[in-house]
């Protein structure tokens, strides 16, 4: 198995596939997640080849852009890796990473765990935090035609998986329904350290947001 060649082909495949993707889930997002994965994996006992493949393919067909169908991404990734003659055990692991990486609501338990998933999941979640996380959140909210903020619509922290996927709540609610929950869900020491700093930045951003809006905090909205 020529790992370098497989990774090169995978990068080319993902970049081409995502060339017209929404701005928060495009090739640049993949590049950032790969970079984060490498930084985190350096301090973990993991299979770096699986981590790299998982990071590259984790959003190859995000269900948000495929009518909520969570099977599309794993199928696309599996078929591509088979064409590259990647061993079945590696394909199975990468597919499980894709199937389990996403946040599906605050009350949903993850069905699969592995050190490699821990790394890629942390890397992906880090890109949902901090300055880039804020930019991605409002970019996606605009893409979906959602309001920036509505003081009358409170965050819902008890949504089912189906309710979370179908939510049309204002974008600011997403900070409470997902982003602020991620810091305490990080898996690795490196991920936790980086997440803490980015979490604090988001808190400062919302403080200023509410100040400019005319309320001092979400609770007073």
Check which CATH number belongs to the domain holding 114 and give it.
Answer: 1.10.3210.50
Per-residue confidence (pLDDT) for residue 165, from 0 to 100: 79
Q: What residues contact 204, with CB distance under 8 A and at least 6 apart? A: none
Per-residue confidence (pLDDT) for residue 166, from 0 to 100: 82
Residue 120 sits in which domain range?
Answer: 3-220
| Better pLDDT: 23 or 169 | 169
Band (pLDDT 50/70/90 cuts) for residue 20 is: confident
| Each residue's pLDDT tens digit, 35-86 | 999 999 999 999 999 999 999 999 986 645 445 567 888 999 999 999 999 9
Distances, alpha carbon 172 to alpha carbons 131, 147, 149, 207, in Å: 14, 9, 5, 12
- Split into its structural domains, the chain has a count of 1
| Each residue's pLDDT tens digit, 84-117 | 999 999 999 999 999 999 876 655 667 789 999 9
CA 124/CA 137 separation, integer angstroms: 14
Look up residue 38 and give its two tokens.
């490498």
Percent of the chain with pLDDT over 70: 90
Q: Please determine, for residue 221, whether its predicted confidence score (pLDDT) is greater than 50.
A: no
| Number of helices (H), then strands (E), in the chain | 11, 0
pTM of the model: 0.88
Dihedral of CA atoms 209, 214, 217, 221 in degrees, nearest 10, equals -120
Q: Which of 129, 135, 155 lies closest to 22, judged by CA?
A: 135
Beta strand spans in the chain (E): none
């Amino acid at each position: 198995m020529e790992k370098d060649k497989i990774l090169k082909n995978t990068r080319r495949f993902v970049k081409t596939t995502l060339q017209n993707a929404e701005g928060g889930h495009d090739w640049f997002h993949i590049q950032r997640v790969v970079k984060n994965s490498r930084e985190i994996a350096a301090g973990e006992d993991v299979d770096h080849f699986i981590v790299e493949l998982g990071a590259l393919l984790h959003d190859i067909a995000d269900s948000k852009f495929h009518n909520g169908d969570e099977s599309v991404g794993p199928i696309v990734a599996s078929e591509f890796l088979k064409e590259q003659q990647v061993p079945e055990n590696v394909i199975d692991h990468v597919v499980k990473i894709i199937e389990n990486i996403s946040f599906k609501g605050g009350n949903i338990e993850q069905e699969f765990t592995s050190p490699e998933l821990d790394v890629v999941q942390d890397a992906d979640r880090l890109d949902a935090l901090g300055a880039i996380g804020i930019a991605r959140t409002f970019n996606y909210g605009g893409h979906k035609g959602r309001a920036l903020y509505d003081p009358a619509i409170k965050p819902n922290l008890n949504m089912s998986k189906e309710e979370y996927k179908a939510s049309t709540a204002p974008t600011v609610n997403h900070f409470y329904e997902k982003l602020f929950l991620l810091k305490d869900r990080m898996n690795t020491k490196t991920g936790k350290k980086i997440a803490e700093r980015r979490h604090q930045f988001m808190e400062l951003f919302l403080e200023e947001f509410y100040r400019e809006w005319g309320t001092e905090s979400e609770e007073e909205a």
